[in-house]
Structure 1
Amino acid sequence: MSVAVIRWVIPSGAAALRSVNVVQKAGVHTSQVRSLRYGWWAYALGERTTPRLKQNSKIISVDGNLASGKGALAQKLADKLGMLYMPEPDTFYLDKMTGEKTPLPVDYNGMCSLEKFYSDPKAADGNSYRLQLWMYTMRLLQYSDAIEHLLTTGQGVILERSPFSDFVFLEAMFKQGYIRKECVQHYNEIKNISICEFMPPHLVIFVDQPAEEVHKKLKQSGKSFLQNVPLAYLKGIEDSYKKTFLPQIRETSEVLAYDATQTRDVEKVAEDIDYLKFDKGPWLEQDDVSYHHLRMLVEDKQRVATLTHIPRFLPEITIGAHDYDQKYYAYKSLPGKKYAPGYNADVGDKHIWLK
């Protein structure tokens, strides 16, 4: 389902989906500034990745429960270390990738709703698992953007959560009876064939705030749908982080853990990072050849999204042929969506016949 929706939105080989464009300035025999896509010829002509990688050329994931302060820490730390900060993706991350001025309807964004999940987590239409699978896909796309930015510019990236930690929500949902066992099996199968194509973050920073405190903060939230999040669900997320995710990720990534009050001292966190050796994990085994293949993967967003697709029948994520056609043609009828970007007169594209 997710790949089908993404194929409507993502033109094949669209340069607009890359977080960083390699720009060629206008010169002899060039009529305009062009966005060049990295490829085999660039590598054959001498384009290499390792020379641009420096001390802070790292992928850092800041993890923690809801409203734990991880976003503020990630942003301040990125400013301190001169790294790129990528806020946690939402269900409309695809619209941001394609440069939509306003978010498209949910029919083209996973057919799921975060607000509905918190207000009715056991909805009979399968919204909870549809949301979980869509968010995993969005995290994978964002992670590919982060790696592409790192390999293209050498600048490190700090993320809020990653596809490697996404399963903590799945486990918490299952414990609360929000999703079926078959959904868990489907998710794990998809994760097993997709996450292996990417290397884990160099560093995971875990912000530890007790679920009880998180629950109190959400009760005071200005968003009404967050005020009803059950404490048991928050506790499930906390347990999954501590009992499953952190022990697993320690095998391949550096881990720093702080309580919420300690994260206010960004200088201390930055100092702790400087002391890390970064002497484990698959990043140490990479060279220009493997970086080349990784760059070829992460710049192809359709290929990345396809990793999350398995032809399995699951009522929560399966739509019928008639519904698919209806949504497809409804999408094509939106302004600027009938043809490729730059070829739609209805949104003011000019000189189409000369292109």
Structure 2
Amino acid sequence: TETAGVRVVAPGNAFFKKGAASCAACVHTSPARSLRYGWLAYALGERTTPRLKHHSKIITVDGNLCSGKGALAQKLADKLGMLYMPEADTFYLDRRTGEKELLPVDFNGMCSLERFYAEPKAADGNSYRLQMWMYTMRVLQYADALEHLLTTGQGVILERSPFSDFVFLDAMLKEGYIRKECVQHYNEIKGISICEFLPPHLAIYVDLPAEEVHRKMTQSGQNVALSYLKGIEDSYKNSFLPLISETSELLAYDASKAQDVERVAEDIEYLKFEKGPWLEQDDVTFHHMRMLVEDKQRVSTLTHIPKFLPEITIGAHDYDEKYYAYKSLPGKKYAPGYNADVGDKHIWLK
């Protein structure tokens, strides 16, 4: 039995209403049903390419911890009129589904980033559960970014992506935080999931030496091994950058130069974006991509396979216990809009 991690994810663009281009109003008969994009919309003439403009791009900003990539991504999004999506964390799913309070970790991957920093070699497999859960969250976020781009035409800038997530896995293996079997499982999951998505148009790398990252993190009270940070840096430079440059444009800056947003924006304007699978797309392929990325339940299942691995597997009795514990939470017994315990009204009319 796989870990009780993935929950039902509501479809649609409601998560991006703030700060994003507006979407067409939905026609609905109840809170649980809405008119979404689908084959009928395509048959009636709905097309993606007419709304794609010069800045209709997916841009990812990568770098080591505390490298300043978040500040660059946010300022660059403001400069270019694009949507900024901060880096996904372990509670990304809660924020996307609009939870009033973040749910316990039992319903969010059964992992903890804080515990990873304090006990990276935990015997219960927290480190790999964290890595696998974060990959799932990044896949969901990337699907959200693609959906937003294809639906509205507005470009998106993200911090990291599922395409760069493996740098942490490499560093964990090098430090002995995870087993080789975990790497095999991760690569199998990645092999059947990441191929379903188009890569970013542009990847920006912010280079800050691991020694400087370690100093900054130590000053902020975070105890992270220098060798682990060095492993992340090495994986970025030796694996990710050569790999992503095959399909995406690539810009790299040291941390000080990355603060010059005007220069970065100017460099982007000079790029011709003449490589990668985006050049091969048309309205038919965009239609199929939109059908995939708007179905977040389908997206989430791409990161789960029926394979036993102690780090991410729980027994049937534990799974049953967690399932009913989740269903007993306020507003979780029935579909959204049908739970009287959280104030839903006129349920019998829906």
TM-score (norm 2): 0.95
Residues 189 and 303, structure 2, Cα contact 8 Å, conserved in 1:
yes
User: Could you list the runs of 5+ residues in structure 1 that have no partner in the other structure?
Assistant: none
**1:94-136 CA distances to partner (integer Å, 9 max, x unpaired)?**
0011100110000000000000001000000000000000000
1:193 — aligned with what? 192
Amino acid at match of 1:320: G
2:244 — aligned with what? 249
Amino acid at match of 1:5: G
CA distance in 2, matches of 1:207, 1:2: 36
In the TM superposition, 1:48-197 aligns within 5 A as: 48-197=47-196
CA distance in 1, matches of 2:211, 2:258: 19
Deviates more, 1:15-24 or 1:38-47: 15-24
Residues 3 and 314, structure 2, Cα contact 8 Å, conserved in 1:
no
1:353 — aligned with what? 348
CA distance in 1, matches of 2:26, 2:166: 43
1:275 — aligned with what? 270
CA distance in 2, matches of 1:18, 1:335: 21
In the TM superposition, 1:188-337 aligns within 5 A as: 188-221=187-220, 224=221, 226=222, 228-337=223-332
SS at match of 1:61: strand
CA distance in 1, matches of 2:268, 2:176: 39
Query: Aligned pair in 2 of structure 1 residues 3, 59: CA closer, same or farther (>3 Å)?
Result: farther
Answer yes or no: is 1:24 the counterpart of 2:36.
no
Residue 336 of structure 1 and its aligned partner are, at CA, apart by: 0.4
Residue 23 of structure 1 and its aligned partner are, at CA, apart by: 3.6
SS at match of 2:147: helix
CA distance in 2, matches of 1:31, 1:333: 23
Residues 206 and 254, structure 2, Cα contact 8 Å, conserved in 1:
yes
CA distance in 2, matches of 1:306, 1:25: 26
Residue 35 of structure 1 and its aligned partner are, at CA, apart by: 4.6
TM-score (norm 1): 0.94
Residues 24 and 35, structure 1, Cα contact 8 Å, conserved in 2:
no
Amino acid at match of 1:309: H
1:344 — aligned with what? 339
CA distance in 2, matches of 1:349, 1:235: 51
Query: Aligned pair in 2 of structure 1 residues 22, 38: CA closer, same or farther (>3 Å)?
Result: farther
Residues 2 and 110, structure 1, Cα contact 8 Å, conserved in 2:
no
Residues 2 and 134, structure 1, Cα contact 8 Å, conserved in 2:
no
Amino acid at match of 1:178: Y
Residues 56 and 81, structure 1, Cα contact 8 Å, conserved in 2:
yes
Amino acid at match of 1:233: Y
Deviates more, 1:34-43 or 1:303-312: 34-43
CA distance in 1, matches of 2:207, 2:172: 20
Residues 88 and 159, structure 1, Cα contact 8 Å, conserved in 2:
yes
Residues 26 and 35, structure 2, Cα contact 8 Å, conserved in 1:
no
Amino acid at match of 1:150: L
State the aligned residue count.
Answer: 345
Residue 6 of structure 1 and its aligned partner are, at CA, apart by: 1.8
CA distance in 2, matches of 1:313, 1:163: 23
Amino acid at match of 2:36: R
**1:193-227 CA distances to partner (integer Å, 9 max, x unpaired)?**
10000011000000000000000000111xx4x2x
Residues 5 and 110, structure 2, Cα contact 8 Å, conserved in 1:
no
Residue 310 of structure 1 and its aligned partner are, at CA, apart by: 1.2
Higher relative CO (Cα under 8 Å, sequence separation at least 6) belongs to 2
Query: Aligned pair in 2 of structure 1 residues 128, 353: CA closer, same or farther (>3 Å)?
Result: same
